[in-house]
Amino acid sequence: MRISLRRGLTVPFKGEPSQIVDRNLAVDRIGLLGHDHGPIRAEVLVAAGEQVAVGTPVYRSRARQELLFCAPVSGTVERIEIGARRRFVEMSIIADGEDRRLDFDTSAADTPEGLRSLLLASGQWPALRARPFERIADPDGTPKALFVTAMDTAPHAPDPAPIIAERSQDFARGLAAMLLLTETPVYLCQPDIEPLARSSEHLKVVRFTGLHPAGLVGTHIARLQPPGDGETVWHIGYQDVIAIGHLLNTSRIDPYRIVSLSGPGVDNPRLVQVPLGADLHALARPNLTPGAKTILSGAVTGGRESTFLGRHDRQVTVVPRAPARQHHWLIEALRRVQTAAAFIPTQALEQTLGSGAPVTPLLRALSIGDAEAAQKLGCLHMAEEDLALASYVTGGTTDFGQKLRRVLDELEAGA
């Protein structure tokens, strides 16, 4: 199957990375971020100063104690921050450079139940996310469909094809695991190149063409299998599929991901191999051009300032820091209390959503917090990344992703 998208934009941006992977960067510190997993109440399983190996469980969900989060490096737990109502905020680990890894029992992973147990025990289950609401998939749930995203159209994103080709055995094993995980359709969404797997009644290989956001899973879900009332769809990225395949092939987790280090603030933009949660400031510091910089975890269109690499981000973007705006205190106060920033509908704005939803009415509904209207206009299959291009096109004056999250949280609370 081939789907060609008419909507989409080219984002002109300097500092495009070389697609040659630098595997020699040493990362001395990593962070696990609660922001990546939604509002999880955590039970911390380690203490500051404790030694951990790759794969050591470091915290778990209080509501679902089988849902574990594991260390991606071996080293010493440096800092643990828990927020209000036991919400997990952050944990940092100082790497020891020894790469000590735990072994996991994969003998029962040839059954759906055994596979789920393995993914939970090894901390790999959080790679599976569910929509609506973009939360970690329910380990006891059954999705309407499962999407494997094997393409990326964001500016400066790594090209998935050579990464998958280099790890073809792990990718094939991980993809087979996704087919075992659910009897519902599994969609492998890829660029318009040679199929990465053979289509079957269970596995649907779908080739997408078009500009960004053609590579977003929200676009794929909207075009192929949007969730109905009470339904969920799951999705997972291609590098997490590779990591699961590696676990099944070796009994050890693969904590490394290939990400782009790029942007006009980098003097040697390229792909780098780093552990999950890598310290972005230490990673970017040797490669910065002169002047103050802003380091984003994610693409220029939707990345956020962060000390550490986000769990699902595959880009580090460095841009010159904009000078601070100086306003009279009254103007600043009035700006902060605005409930809905105005935006001007333009032809470029109409190209920012790949789902086919009416862009301007949806953005207006989100801007005023009209959850009922936003739901009718198709917001349930979306996440913040689906609105990032709209925020970018409007100059960043309104964070539509943040407004979407508020609406989704309201709808989730009433579900």
For the chain, the domains span 2-16+101-250, 330-414
Say which residues have a Cβ less than 8 Å from residue 362's Cβ, sequence separation at least 6: 353, 374, 377, 378, 379
- pLDDT for position 347: 87
Average pLDDT over residues 386-402: 92
- The pTM of this model reads 0.94
- Of 1-10, 125-134, 253-262, 389-398, the least confident: 389-398
pLDDT at residue 239, as a whole number = 98
Is residue 76 classed as helix, strand or coil in its secondary structure?
Answer: strand
pLDDT, one tens digit per residue, over 33-87 is 999 998 899 999 999 999 999 999 999 999 999 999 999 999 999 999 999 988 9
CA distance 254 to 240: 9
- Separation of alpha carbons 17 and 380, rounded Å: 34
For 358-393, give the DSSP string.
Answer: -HHHHHHHHHTT-HHHHHHTT-TT--HHHHHHHHHH
- Provide the 3-class DSSP secondary structure of residue 207: strand
Instruction: Write out 107-155 in H/E/C secondary structure.
Output: CCCCCHHHHHHHHHHCCCHHHCEEECCCEECCCCCCCCCEEEECCCCCC
Q: Residue 122 and residue 105: Cα distance in Å, rounded?
A: 10
Residue/partner pairs of 250-255 with CB below 8 Å, 24 or more apart: 251/103, 251/104, 251/105, 251/106, 252/54, 252/55, 252/101, 252/102, 252/103, 252/104, 253/54, 253/55, 253/70, 253/72, 253/101, 253/102, 253/104, 253/122, 253/123, 253/124, 254/170, 255/54, 255/72, 255/73
Mean pLDDT value across residues 243-259 = 98
> Of 392, 304, 316, 318, whose CA–CA distance to 33 is shortest?
304
Query: Residue 116: what are its φ and ψ, rounded to 5°?
Result: -60, -40
Beta-carbon contacts of residue 146 (< 8 Å; ≥ 6 apart): 178, 181, 182, 184, 185, 186, 187, 233, 234, 235, 236
Angle of CA points 19, 382, 218, to nearest 5°? 40
- Distance between CA atoms of 352 and 346, rounded to whole angstroms? 10
Q: Assign 3-class secondary structure to 10-64.
A: CCCCCCCCEEEEECCCCCCEEEEEHHHHCCCEEEECCCCCCEECECCEEEEECCC
- Please write down the long-range contacts of 197-201, taking CB distance under 8 Å and 24 or more positions apart: 197/172, 199/1
Task: Identify the band that residue 396 occupies on the pLDDT scale cut at 50, 70 and 90.
Answer: confident
Out of 88-92, 187-191, 355-359, 378-382, least confident range: 355-359
CA dist 180 and 162 (Å) reads 25
Orientation angle between helical segments 384-393 and 217-224, nearest 10 degrees: 110
Q: Angle, to 10 degrees, between the axis of helix 238-250 and the axis of helix 112-121?
A: 100
CA angle at 372 for the pair 367 and 377, rounded to the nearest 5°: 75
Residue 345 token pair? 């509908």
pLDDT > 80? residue 371: yes
Q: Over 50: is that where the pLDDT of 350 sits? A: yes
Decide if pLDDT at 342 tops 70.
no
Kindly report the number of other CB atoms within 10 A of residue 242's CB atom: 27
Q: List the one residue out of 387, 361, 385, 389 whose CA is nearest residue 375.
A: 361
Q: Is the pLDDT of residue 201 over 60?
A: yes
CA proximity to 242, closest of 310, 177, 192, 194: 177
CB count in 10 Å sphere of residue 180: 17
Give the Cα separation of 74 and 101 in Å (integer).
Answer: 7
- Which pLDDT does position 187 carry in this prediction? 98
Give pLDDT, residue 345: 77
Residues in CB range of 347: below 8 A, 6 or more apart: none
Summary mean pLDDT of the chain: 93
Q: What is the dihedral of CA 303, 307, 313, 318, to 10 degrees?
A: 50
Q: Indicate the SS3 state at residue 68.
A: strand
Check: CB of residue 352 under 8 Å from CB of residue 375. no
